[in-house]
């Protein structure tokens, strides 16, 4: 085997292991809160030594930031496909419906959304955050362009800003729908039922109102 082939094989093996780690972490996140997950548990789930795990991801935040990138890319591909395939008249409300429907099915993604600025970007170095921001721009740009093509009230460059505002709404709603354990127990009391939030029921009208406002002159 040539040296080039050996290097390629090693690179392929490293990528496979990297993906195994991310899948192990994602499996834990689908069952538990981020704060409850420890790196040693992720290593055990991936059948690796803890030291090996840190060779791939220096912190838990760096690991889940990369998971977020993957989940975000998958979601935007879904949105892009629906924007490309839809027929008939496009309105802000129609786009809001697509955004809501595709996010409701992605609980893990919306939970990670709430952690980006307060947690995931806090325990990583500036180069990792800059790389994440560049990846974010690369992911949002095609979808933003599609939105500008579908919605005549958007001008060039406003699609990305609209997506960021949608993100802000999603984060706010998701946080209200995901209280801590003690708060959740309190909200289960009948007299406090009016304070409970349901993600889809709240997100759908709020995004509809947001897009209608832009459509009727508020602008991004």
**Sequential pLDDT tens for the chain (220 residues):** 554 444 436 778 888 899 999 999 999 999 999 999 999 999 999 999 989 999 999 999 999 999 999 999 999 999 999 999 878 889 999 999 999 999 999 999 999 999 999 999 999 999 999 999 999 999 999 999 999 999 999 999 999 999 999 999 999 999 998 888 888 888 889 898 888 888 999 999 999 999 998 888 755 5
- Which residues fall within 8 angstroms of residue 53, CB to CB, at 6 or more apart? 21, 39, 42, 43, 46
If asked whether residues 94 and 160 sit together in one domain, one would say yes
pTM: 0.89
Evaluate whether residue 209 is within a structural domain.
yes
Query: Do residues 101 and 81 touch, judged by C-beta distance below 8 A?
Result: no
Quote the CA–CA distance of 104 and 34 in Å, as a whole number: 19
User: Residue 27 is part of which domain span?
Assistant: 1-57
If asked whether residues 30 and 47 sit together in one domain, one would say yes
If asked whether residues 86 and 181 sit together in one domain, one would say yes
Alpha helices in 106-198 (DSSP H): 107-113, 126-150, 158-177, 181-187
Which tokens go with 66? 């990369």
Evaluate whether residue 65 is within a structural domain.
yes
Quote the CA–CA distance of 19 and 120 in Å, as a whole number: 19
Evaluate whether residue 220 is within a structural domain.
no
């Amino acid at each position: 085997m040539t040296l080039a082939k050996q290097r390629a094989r090693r690179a392929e093996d490293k990528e496979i292991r990297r993906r195994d780690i991310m899948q192990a972490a994602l499996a834990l996140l689908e069952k538990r809160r981020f704060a409850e997950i420890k790196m040693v548990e992720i290593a055990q789930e991936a059948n690796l030594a803890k030291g090996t795990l840190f060779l791939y991801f220096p912190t838990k935040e760096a690991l889940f930031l990369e998971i977020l990138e993957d989940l975000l890319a998958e979601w935007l591909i879904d949105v892009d496909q629906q924007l490309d395939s839809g027929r008939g008249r496009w309105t802000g409300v129609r786009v809001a419906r697509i955004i809501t429907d595709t996010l409701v099915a992605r609980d893990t993604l919306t939970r990670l959304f709430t952690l980006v600025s307060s947690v995931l970007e806090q325990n990583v170095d500036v180069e990792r955050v800059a790389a994440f921001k560049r990846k974010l721009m690369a992911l949002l740009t095609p979808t933003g362009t599609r939105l500008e093509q579908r919605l005549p009230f958007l001008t060039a460059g406003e699609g990305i800003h609209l997506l960021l505002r949608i993100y802000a709404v999603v984060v706010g709603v998701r946080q209200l729908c995901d209280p801590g354990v003690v708060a959740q127990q309190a909200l289960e009391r009948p007299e406090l039922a009016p304070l409970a939030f349901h993600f889809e029921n709240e997100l759908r009208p709020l995004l509809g109102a947001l897009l209608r406002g832009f459509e009727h002159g508020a602008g991004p």
